[in-house]
Every structure is written in C-alpha cells, then in structure tokens.
Amino acid sequence: MQRNRRFVTPALLVGTVGLMLAGSGCVIETGPDGGGTGDCYPNLIIDYTIQDATGVPVTCAAAGASTVEANVDGVTFPASCPPDASAGSIVVPLQGVGLYNATVNLFDKQRNALAPAQSSSFNITNCGDTEPETPAVFVVSAAAP
C-alpha cells in the first residue's frame, strides 16, 4: 500500500493543476495593435516644417503663426504653433485602417492662412503609428514686427 500512495499524490497534484488551468475561463484576445479588445485605432502623425523661400527655418513667432491644423476626411485637428518652433507634429487618431485624405494648414491668430495648404492621401495598413517620411512644408515670409 505504501508503494501506491507515492504515485497517487503526484497524479492528484498534476490533475488538480490541469483542471484549474483548463477551467479558469481566462482567454486573452489580442488585437493587431496589441490591445485586448481586437479593435484597431491607428495614429497618423503629420509632421510639418516652416521655412522661407530659400529653405531657412522660420519660427512660428517670426511667421506670425498661432495654429497648425490638420483636416482628415472632414475632421479638424488643431494644434498650437509654439513661438520658438519651426517644425512640429500633429497626432491624428484614426478609426481604423484604410485610405485617409489629409490637408494641413498654417494660420495666424485671425485664422488667415499664411501659406498654401498641403494635401496628401495616406493608406493606413496597420494599427500602430504611421508617420510619413516627408513633412508638410510651409513656405512663408517673416511677419512684419
């Protein structure tokens, strides 16, 4: 009887752990963006630079700019233009993968455009961040003092 008892204890332990794992009901579903719900909410990161006609960087203050605004498929995403900055980014949260049309513009305090708007289409194919290689370039003249 002693001999059988040694094998019964490990068998019970393995069986108990197996039942606990099988019956735990814990299922982890990971979506393509690493989230737990399976939803996909990518970001489009739109970079911009401000420069003069010769390519020299111009700060927001020198250009008289107060706002950089992205319009993606009719939804506006404004961002303030930091006075000492001549470049920046706007992070646009998207509703999923697909084709998006974006227009970026630079405005003064009265919402006058300071440079021609920059437009592009982006085919978003993943659920992470997408940052195009080429920024929107705003060519401006320095504002009058």
CATH at residue 82: 2.60.40
Does any domain span residue 69?
A: yes
Please state whether beta strands 43-51 and 129-130 pair in parallel, antiparallel, or not at all (unpaired): parallel
Confirm whether 103 is domain-assigned: yes
- Domain span including residue 121: 43-139
- Helix-strand-coil split of the chain, %, nearest 5: 15, 35, 45
Q: How many domains does the chain have?
A: 1
How many helices, marked H, and strands, marked E, lie in the chain? 2, 8
Taking alpha carbons only, the member of 68, 43, 63 closest to residue 136 is 68
- Over the stretch 32-85, which tens digit does the pLDDT of each residue have? 444 434 689 999 999 999 999 999 999 999 999 999 999 999 999 999 999 999
**pLDDT digit string, tens, across residues 106-124:** 999 999 999 999 999 999 9
Nearest-angstrom CA–CA distance, 104 and 61 = 18
Whole-prediction pTM: 0.70
